Amino acid sequence: MGSASGLKQVGYFDCAGGGQVVVEKTTAYIGHMESPDGTSIVDVADPANPRLLAHVQVPPGTHSHKVRVGNGIMIVNNEFYPRGKAKPPEDFLAGYTVYDISNPSKPRHLYRWKEKGKGVHRFDFDGRYAYMSPTLDGYIGNIVMIIDFKNPERPEEVGRWWEPGQWIAGGEQPTWEGDAHRCHHPLRLGNRLYVSYWLGGMFILDIDDMSKPKLVSHMRWQPPNTCPTHTALPLPYEIDGRKLLLVAEEDVWRTADDRAGGLWMVDITNERFPFVIGSYQMDGLDRPPVPPFTACHQPSERINGTEIPVAYFAHGVRVVDISKPRALREVAHYVPDLPEGSPKIQGNDVTIDDRGLIYLIDRYRGLTILERTK
């Protein structure tokens, strides 16, 4: 059974499980986890009665579980999905796809970028530039790529960056095993990219010249921690005169006896020397044993105050108050009821809209729409 405190459900959209949800005005865009479901476009003008506008499918063995919209276009990733049972078409190449969504009910294909690797994972988009995490021939693991969508039918690469050791075609040799150090996704604020790098921690990049991103600083939690760095989210405001970065670990790649993934608050006022000043872990998950896929996954990348909704895998959504950066605290939560036929609750992604409504997409099934209660 579900549980709630400080949040109440105002709507529910029954759909296949998703990897990301974003909302523009009164339209929600859902990137689904497994084929054949690719992307759903949903009218949420009346949150109590969400209505499907359009649905895009993908080939077997692939997924388009991430989606971004802006300036009348929708960008989705195309990635191989090895956890699926289906085998992808032999001629399939991963990458990303661009759609015209001037009419959300009829997304129109504009462009498809293909490459020989596993595909693009998560990414950011500001309506002009996308900050992506592709795998490319000659590199090991995902890297940072900046793409200009001024002409969405002919996007152009602007610049790229990688952790030294990834460019094996250039003679570099990684000091880590396999693709353990790889770009999960960059987030932009001003002339900086804040890049989560899986078991490589996180990087701050100067993109004053987008063609030549430059390293500002690097911070890493692994080791001693085992959970990878999923998101490095810069706050768009200062608190007590300090510039801050909220870092989320993904609660995977660990045993039940390892520390569960949580949140770190990082002071980046002097960005050359970032340091941790606070943390958050849900009560009851702060000591083992705790199975993987139980704790933290992803905070809302859209921020409208000092309360940040966080998708928390087996525990739905937790709303974390960051107004005191050294003492993060939970102020609300919502765990949906288990949908019929779903194996478990897995809050995978969360966002908010202009009305302050919260949207939680489950990895297995269902989009839950919530509002904050005091």
Three-state secondary structure call for residue 35: coil
Ranges under pLDDT 70 in the chain = 1, 83-84
Is residue 255 packed enough to be buried (19+ CB in 10 Å), middle (13-18) or exposed (0-12)? Answer: exposed
Which pLDDT does position 87 carry in this prediction? 87
Q: Mind listing the pLDDT tens digit for each residue in 292-346?
A: 999 999 999 999 999 999 999 999 999 999 999 999 999 999 999 999 989 999 9
Q: Hey, what are 110's tokens? A: 């504009």
* Token pair of 46 as six digits: 């009346």
What are the C-alpha distances in Å from 287 to residues 218, 221, 226, 272, 368? 28, 18, 14, 32, 29
Residue whose C-alpha is closest to residue 89's, from 115, 59, 117, 113: 59
Q: Which of 214, 218, 227 lies closest to 245 in space, CA to CA?
A: 218
pLDDT for the residue 82: 72
* H or E element in which residue 217 lies: strand 214-219
State residue 100's pLDDT score. Answer: 98
pLDDT of residue 2: 75
CB 302 within 8 A of CB 316: no
Percent of the chain as helix, strand, coil, to the nearest 5: 0, 50, 50
254: nearest Cα among 203, 290, 215, 217: 290
- Catalogue the E-assigned strands of 116-212: 124-125, 129-132, 144-148, 156-161, 181-189, 192-198, 202-206
Alpha carbon distance 227, 222 (integer Å): 7
Q: Report the C-alpha gap between 114 and 124 in whole angstroms.
A: 18
From residue 233, alpha-carbon distances to 166, 175, 283, 296, 357 in Å are 24, 27, 23, 14, 20
Report how far residue 148's alpha carbon sits from residue 156's, in angstroms, rounded to the nearest whole number: 5
- C-beta contacts of 152-158 below 8 A and 24+ residues apart: 152/73, 152/98, 152/100, 152/110, 152/111, 153/98, 153/110, 153/111, 154/111, 155/98, 155/111, 155/113, 155/130, 158/129, 158/210, 158/211
CA distance 49 to 96: 31
Q: Which two tokens stand for residue 153?
A: 């039918």
| Rounded distance between C-alpha atoms, residue 263 and residue 298, angstroms | 9
Please count the CA atoms within 13 angstroms of the CA of 349 that sit on its side-chain side: 28
pLDDT at residue number 84: 62
Domains in the chain, start-ordered, CATH in brackets? Answer: 3-9+121-372 (2.130.10.10)
pLDDT in tens, 166-220: 999 999 999 999 999 999 999 999 999 999 999 999 999 999 999 999 999 999 9
The amino acid present at 68, given as its one-letter code, is: R
pLDDT of residue 239: 98
